[in-house]
Every structure is written in C-alpha cells, then in structure tokens.
Amino acid sequence: MAYSSLEACLLDLERTGQLLRIKEEVDPYLEMAAIHLRIYEQKGPAILFEKVKGSKFRAASNIFGTLERSEFIFRDTLPSVKQLIDIKINPLAAIQNPLKSLAALPAAINALPNKNPIAKPVLFEEINISDLPLIHHWPMDGGAFVTLPQVYTEDADKPGIGSSNLGMYRIQLNGNDYILNKEIGLHYQLHRGIGVHQTKANNLGLPLKVSCFVGGPPAHSVAAVMPLPEGMSEMNFAGVLAGKRFGYTYVDGFCVSTDADFVITGEVFPGDNKPEGPFGDHLGYYSLQHPFPVMKVHKVYARKNAIWAFTVVGRPPQEDTSFGQLIHHITGSAVSNEIPGLKEVHAVDAAGVHPLLLAIGSERYTPFLENKKPAEILTIANHILGTGQLSLAKFVWITAEAKKSKGDKEIDVNNIPEFLAYMLSRMDFSNDLHFYTNTTMDTLDYSGDGLNSGSKLVLAAYGDVRRKLATTIPENITALNANASLIMPGIIAVNAADSTIHSIQEKLKGKGETLLEQDGIAMIIITEDATWMAAEFNNFIWAAFTRTNPSKDIEGVDSYINNKHWGCNGPLIFDATIKKHHAPAVVKDNEVEKKVSAILSKYGY
C-alpha cells in the first residue's frame, strides 16, 4: 500500500489491531521512552501518544517493532524492491533501458523523485524547536534528541537531488550549550555520506545546507538507514519502497520533503562545533559528550495534525534490530555479492552490530593441497574491513564452506553458539589470530583509549576439527577460580575479583596445550559476575565483545610473538570487565518505571 503520510500508515495498522493509542498525557522526559521500551519488550503494537506534555503534537513509536509488522507495512512493494536489488538493477537505468528490465520497470518509475512546487501540507505552519515533542530518552542524556531523522544534504560540487545523501544521524534539540530554537546538534559517525558533503562545503568555504525530515511515509525512514548498491540513491529507494515518488521542493534554498510531517532546515558552518551528548545509544551504553557540528536553525515546519516519529535505543535488541532484519530481508545476498568469495555475513545485533561480525567465505586458492588452512578467507576479511560500514567491525570471525561429507551439518552464520563452536574446535591459536592495532573504530565504541580509535581482531579458521570442546569445567580451571561458570562448550567465565588477565596467565603457565587440546577450553572470559554472564548467552555476547579492545584486553595462555605475529598455545583470555575509560551502561529509572506500570496496566501491559 502506498501511504501518503505517517498517519495513513498508523490508521492502517489500527484497522488490523497493530496500534495502541495512549490517550492520557505522558511526559516526554523519560516516560514516553519507558513506555516504548516496555511495549517493545513484549513484542507489542505500534504506539500513538495522543497527548504529549508540553507539546500540541502527537508522537508515534515502535512502528517497525517487529519484522512481521514491517513486512505488513511494505507488503505491496517489497517484492519489487527485492527484484531490483536481486538483479542489481539501478532503477534509473531500468527506466533508460526498459526493454532490458520490463518486469522491474513499474517499480523503477517510482524511483524518480517528483519535484512538486506545491508544498502546502508540510508548510502548514512555521513553528519553533521548543514546540516539538522534546523526548528525553535516558536519565543521563544531554537533552532531547531526534531518533528517527532523515537528514538530507547535497554535494556542493554537484548540487541537486541527484547527488544528495539521506542518512539517519541523530539530532540533539536542546540542552548543553545549544541556544534553544536557534541551534541544534548534528552527530554523525565514520563512513557516512554527510561527511563527504561537509568536507566539500568546507573546502569551498560554504555552509552546508541541511534539511531534517521527520515522519512522512515509513519508507522514507527505512531509506535513511539503507545500505544501497553503488549508484542507487536513498531518494530512488524511498520512492520504490513507498510505492510513490519522493516528493520534494525548495524553500529558501533548502530541500523540503513535501510528504514529511516536520522539516527542520539550517546550516552548518566550517569549524563550528559544540559539545553534543551524552546519549544512551544502541550498544547499550551512553555515547559521551564530544564536539560535533552545530546546525544553525533556519526554519521549522509542520503539517496539519503532524505526528512526531521516534524510536528508543539501548542495549540490543531494540526497535533498530527490526530495521536490521528488514534490511537483511530486502537485500538478501546483495552485500556478499559485492565481495568476491563471501557467502554469508552476520553483524550480530546482540553485540551492538559493529563489535561482532560472523562470516562464511570460500577457500579456492590451493585446491591441489591436502593441508587446510586459511588463505582466501584472509583476503575476504581484509575486503570486509575495507567495505563501507562493514569496515567498522571490531571482531571478525570468518571460516569457509567445506566439502560436505555424508552427515555433515551445514554451517549457519545466524546460529551464533554453533558458529563459534565450529570455529573454536578448528582454530589454530598459533596462526589464526590477526590483530589490527591503532586503527579507526566505530564512534560509539569506547573500548579503546580514545574516540574513533582502538584495535580489531580477525579470527580465521578453516579445516578439520582439532579438538573437542569442554562441556564441563575442568579441574585446571576450578583450581584457578572456584566461581567459574560454563558459558557454552569451550568458553568459561571467571570472576574478576578472583582473577586478572595476567594472574591467569601466570597461574596457568605451561598448561596451555593441556587446557586447549585435552580439556577443550578455548576461551576464558574475565567479568565482574561470571554467574550473570553464563545465565544468558546474550549477556556473554554483549559484554565480551563491547568491552574488549582486542590488542589490549586479549591475552592467551603460553602466548608468544614470532616475527611480530602473536599466538598462544592455550586458551584465549578476554578481559571483559568494565574499565574506567568505558562509557556507562544505560539503566532505567525506577520511579519512572512505577509510573509507566500504572499507565500501561490500563491497557493490559
């Protein structure tokens, strides 16, 4: 169904029992976010807040809360979108060469943005930032943020919508040193198109014109986070997924989405930064306060009866998990097709996406040799770490498809425990660990010693089974730490109060080969609470991979360096404790939780 507005989508969801209306007034300071989190945790419906304290505008969240709901919203257009991506058709090329792509042509036509001089709906009224629902999500947040923005910029060298960028970069609306109604914060991370646009504008000594769209057809929000094939712009994709062309016009030199509920326009001047944050982010920690560009507000527009779209992020999974599932559903194997030899890739959401990436590749370099060891998959790993947002991965675990014998189980990159066990049972700890030290990192990853800095680790294993992984805790470990807990076969958690990374190395010195090859222990994880870490697999995935800086926080029993290559003869040791330089984890406010319980009890939640 081609929704003309966000409200049209919400009404469609309501007709099928997929919308909850919260009718009483709700405080945008923590309460709205807490309600969203509670409903999301129960796989509940989309939410429409009809009365937002301090604002005349309604607000909606959890729109994409489940993959099933997203598939329902885009039920009429998903097949066409998948077809275009599967056959690698650039929609504009499909229009230019209709005989070569007849089947995809109707959908491709919607890819053409529609310049519409009639912008009356979104220009219904001019408002101030202070009139918006100023939603404060977590107690330590620096202010209110836009969490489903569609941030539009153009290329100063090639102005116009054809070379534009639409991205989801969080916007801080108030707080810190921002002058209310005149300044807002623009946060963006590495490998984002807006950075290229700002660089070009800076080089010309020009301010970067920015338009922030909120609401409108749900397809526009998805387009803002979509990793697209080369040559396909977000505006093209938004039209195809929406089933209607992206409508736009220009007002005072700024691009304005004619379908949006709200539009904020403004300029970013060279070198003009202010502290932005903190913000409770999607890794489950606060991204701390850092200098980011200031956007000087030009004008703020709202359509009649506009609805403010937002989401809440925190320790995964959250609603952005469903975004990821939808993207994977749409793109299928498109990402792997961009990297020769790559079969499957899985950025693990429970670890915050970028901290942990699992991959299956090919081994075709030396089929004439009987010995099996990583070769092509090392090339593939390097390609992964040089490709767009995949390059933000911190831990890359990669293996290869093997010739299957009768009874062999197929490797499943989405079954995380089985995938890790498959690799750990085959890994050569002397050769299969490849560190990238002092490199650039995801902006939200605070495991390193500075912003955007840290290290990476590629674990590449291929070949026959080398060891059977332990399913019980061996005596060598209980003697070391009586409070050890088994997380999964081959992986043990120990309490930090009883052990440090160096004390474990010292106490187990000379026992590495026994522990690894006979006892079947491949990893020892140091944590503040081993019982907590072992209680739920996702606790291990989250803590072990978000809290470790590979080059600093990983050691091994009987480790050594040979020709600058690090290896060990025993288990790996991860120091997954919380360090002083780490950002704090997001924690709910108990008093707010009580208020939310009282509100939601009326609705059966």
- Helix axis angle, 218-225 to 319-331, nearest 10°: 80
**With 50 as the cut, is the pLDDT of residue 191 above it?**
yes
Residues in CB range of 262: below 8 A, 6 or more apart: 122, 132, 213, 214, 215, 300, 301, 302, 303, 306, 308
The Cα-based distances of 406 to 192, 468, 470 in angstroms read 46, 20, 25
Helix (H) / strand (E) element for 276: namely strand 273-276
Q: Residue 96: what pLDDT?
A: 55
For 6-315, give the CATH class. Answer: mainly beta
Distance CA 15, CA 46 (A): 12
The phi and psi torsions of 179 (rounded to 5 degrees) equal -80, 115
Q: Do domains 321-460 and 475-575 have the same CATH topology?
A: yes
Q: Residue 148: what pLDDT?
A: 96
Residue recorded with tokens 């560009």: 293
Distance CA 499, CA 114 (A): 63
**With 60 as the cut, is the pLDDT of residue 4 above it?**
yes
Q: Are strands 356-361 and 395-400 parallel, antiparallel or unpaired?
A: parallel
Domain boundaries, the chain: 6-315, 321-460, 475-575
Query: Could you report how far apart the first and last alpha carbons of the chain are, in Å?
Result: 30
Name the pLDDT band for 102 (thresholds 50, 70, 90): very low
Q: Residue 229: what pLDDT?
A: 58
Q: Residue 58: what pLDDT?
A: 98
Mean of the pLDDT values across residues 110-131? Answer: 86
Question: Higher pLDDT residue, 445 or 571?
Answer: 571
Q: Residue 87: what pLDDT?
A: 56
* pLDDT tens column, 149-185: 999 999 988 899 988 989 999 999 999 999 999 999 9
- Asked: is 321-460 a CATH 3.40.1670.10 domain? The reply is yes
Q: Residue 78: what pLDDT?
A: 87
Mean of the pLDDT values across residues 81-92? Answer: 62
* pLDDT tens column, 396-442: 999 998 766 555 568 899 999 999 999 999 999 999 999 999 888 88
In terms of Cα–Cα distance, which of 352, 353, 356, 335 is closest to 344? Answer: 335
* pLDDT tens column, 136-145: 999 999 999 9
Question: Higher pLDDT residue, 228 or 112?
Answer: 112
Name the pLDDT band for 387 (thresholds 50, 70, 90): confident
**With 70 as the cut, is the pLDDT of residue 99 above it?**
no
Q: Residue 458: what pLDDT?
A: 97
**DSSP label of 410:** P
Distance CA 605, CA 601 (A): 5
* pLDDT tens column, 323-381: 888 887 787 656 666 788 999 999 999 999 889 999 999 998 877 777 688 999 999 99
**With 50 as the cut, is the pLDDT of residue 256 above it?**
yes
475-575: CATH topology: UbiD C-terminal domain-like (3.40.1670)
Given a contact cutoff of 8 angstroms between Cβ atoms, the answer to whether 53 and 27 are in contact is yes
Residues in CB range of 84: below 8 A, 6 or more apart: 91, 94, 104, 107, 108, 240
Q: Are strands 208-214 and 356-361 parallel, antiparallel or unpaired?
A: unpaired
Distance CA 174, CA 495 (A): 41
- How much is the mean pLDDT over the chain? 90
> Is 506 exposed, middle or buried, given 0-12, 13-18 or 19+ CB atoms closer than 10 A?
exposed
Helix (H) / strand (E) element for 151: namely strand 150-153
Q: Residue 100: what pLDDT?
A: 47
Mean of the pLDDT values across residues 46-62? Answer: 98
In terms of Cα–Cα distance, which of 439, 445, 455 is closest to 583? Answer: 445
Distance CA 183, CA 113 (A): 30
